[in-house]
Amino acid sequence: MKPDLCQPVEQVAPRLLGAVIRHGPVAVRLTELEAYDGVTDPASHAYRGRTARNAVMFGPPGHLYLYFTYGMHWAGNISCGPEGVGCGVLMRAGEVIEGLDVARSRRGPASDRNLARGPGRLSQALGLHAEHKGSDLFDQGGPVTLEVPPGQPEMIMVGPRVGVSVEADRPWRFWIGDSPFVSDYKRSPRAPRAAAGVPMAQRWDG
């Protein structure tokens, strides 16, 4: 199923929870996602406009935007919003549901819970690299595909994004509330102190 990815990014992100991303023998069920809203969002890679690095975010929705982080990890995003806008959803965590042996071999000494718990781990478990950047995730003949179920998880939680130093209190991290395959919340040490009354987690009501 291909959902309408031209909706506002904070509506697209929770809709993609439970979707399955697949590359070769490994499939990961997405349990945690973060929304980034292009030129209106200082925490977004697209905030300063289109560049060679972030061009995929400004292209058609439903494509894979990969970026290298910390000099060692690839992080994967799903482009969304109207073409030219530059929105994306970061795949923050997931559960490996197929190809466990392959994912384990890629991740080394990690528990099954930690195989794809974190953006870099998720991409490593899937075997994603630079050559996969720009892949059309809804092209069933492509190297990386995304399958979105018709329904949504029963319990969706929402809270601040992890590790961003600006717009740190924007509640645009979404996760499956009863899943153990999600990240621990960590606030960036460079972020301002949380505003009084900002909840770290609450149930998303759509």
Cross-strand pairs, 204: none
In a domain, 126, yes or no: yes
Look at residue 98 and tell me if it is in a domain.
yes
What is the C-alpha to C-alpha distance for residues 144 and 126, in angstroms, rounded to an integer?
9
pLDDT one-digit tens code per residue, 28-57: 999 999 999 989 999 999 999 899 999 999
Question: Nearest to residue 61, comparing CAs of 124, 121, 155, 148?
Answer: 148
Average pLDDT over the chain reads 94
CB contact at 8 A, 35 and 171: no
Q: What is the mean pLDDT of residues 127-137?
A: 97
For the chain, what is the domain count?
1
Q: Please count the other Cβ atoms lying within 10 Å of the Cβ belonging to residue 68.
A: 15
Residue 194: pLDDT band (50, 70, 90) is: confident
Residue type at 121?
Answer: R
| CATH classification at residue 105 | 3.10.300.10
Rounded Cα distance between 187 and 131, Å, is 32
> What tens digit of pLDDT does each residue of 152-189 get?
999 999 999 999 999 999 999 999 999 999 999 999 99
Task: Please give the Cα distance from 122 to 91 (Å, whole number).
Answer: 8
62 in a domain, yes or no? Answer: yes
Choose among 78, 46, 82, 84: nearest CA to 63.
78
Which is nearest to 122 in space by CA: 140, 146, 149? 146
Q: What is the pLDDT of residue 195?
A: 81
Q: Which domain holds residue 64?
A: 9-155+177-184
Dihedral, CA atoms, 141, 144, 206, 44, nearest 10 degrees? -130
pLDDT, position 2: 82
Domain membership flag for residue 165: no
